[in-house]
Structure 1
Amino acid sequence: MSKIPPPTVPEKDPDRFLRCQDALHIEFQDLVERAVQAGWKPEEVLVSLIELADNQALMMEANAEVEAALNILKRRGFRF
């Protein structure tokens, strides 16, 4: 497994997402290839990766919402 290169541009750079895609491309291709070699159809692999990415994004959003709600409660004096 190769090392994913770190960002080389600041967070506000308009090309940052493109640079991230470039950084992940080789690992992504390798993951797809390994799954296909294991017997999965390429379409199954790609749809599964899309679903996994979507679920991860939803989880991150839900966690951020819970964290924000907890911070509000903490500011109001609630103790956990």
Structure 2
Amino acid sequence: MDEIYPPDVPNDEPDRFLRCQDALHLEFVALVDRAVAAGWRTDEVLTTIIELADNHALMLTANADLEAALSILKKRP
């Protein structure tokens, strides 16, 4: 597998999202190809990747919310 290259533009660069897509594209295609080669249908693989991404985003948000709540509680006497 190829290495994912790091960002080469600042955080506020308008094309940063597209550059991230470019950086991940080969790894993404390789993952899909490996899953299909293992016997999964392409539609199953793509739907699963979407679900995994959604669940991961929800988990990150929940963790951030929990950390914020714990921080508030720790400040209370």
What TM-score comes out, normalization by structure 1 length? 0.92
Identical amino acids, percent of aligned pairs? 66
Question: Runs of at least 4 residues of structure 1 off by over 6 A?
Answer: none
Structure having greater relative contact order (Cα 8 Å, sep ≥ 6): 2
| Structure 2, gaps ≥5 residues long | none
Consecutive unaligned residues in structure 1, runs of 5 or more: none
- What is the aligned partner in structure 1 of residue 13 from structure 2? 13
Report the RMSD for the aligned CA atoms in angstroms.
0.8
**Counterparts of 1:19-58 in structure 2 under 5 Å?**
19-58=19-58
Alpha-carbon distance in structure 1 between the residues aligned to 2:10 and 2:75: 32
Aligned pairs, number: 77
Kindly provide the amino acid, as one letter, of the partner of residue 75 in structure 2: R
Deviation at 1:63, TM superposition (A): 0.3
TM-score scaled to structure 2, two decimals? 0.95
